[in-house]
Amino acid sequence: LVVHGQNDYRLDVSQGFDLFTTLQVLKVPSKMLYFPDEGHWVLKPQNSQLWYKTVNDWVDQWCKK
């Protein structure tokens, strides 16, 4: 699971997309969650809800026995 905000000043957004693309090319199960209106942290309430749901679903899918 790759999560990235467009306005992240710590990492260029291209790094997130490059990582996701590489994972896809290598056929690694992966998902990209992109927020065009967020920075390094997901702070807006509607985005936070999506973030929590996506992360929880991902963990459930890949970590439950």
> Measured between alpha carbons, how far is 54 from 39 in angstroms, rounded to an integer?
18
pLDDT value at residue 15: 97
Q: What is the pLDDT of residue 65?
A: 67
As a whole number, the mean pLDDT across the chain is: 96
Give the phi and the psi of residue 44 in degrees, each rounded to 5: -70, 135
- Report pTM: 0.88
The pair of structure tokens assigned to 15 is 């790094």
Q: Which two tokens stand for residue 28?
A: 């690694």
pLDDT (average), residues 28-48: 98
Q: How confident is the model over 56-64, as a mean pLDDT? A: 93
Residue whose token pair is 């920075």: 39
Find all residues with CB under 8 Å of 39, minimum gap 6, and list them: 5, 7, 8, 9
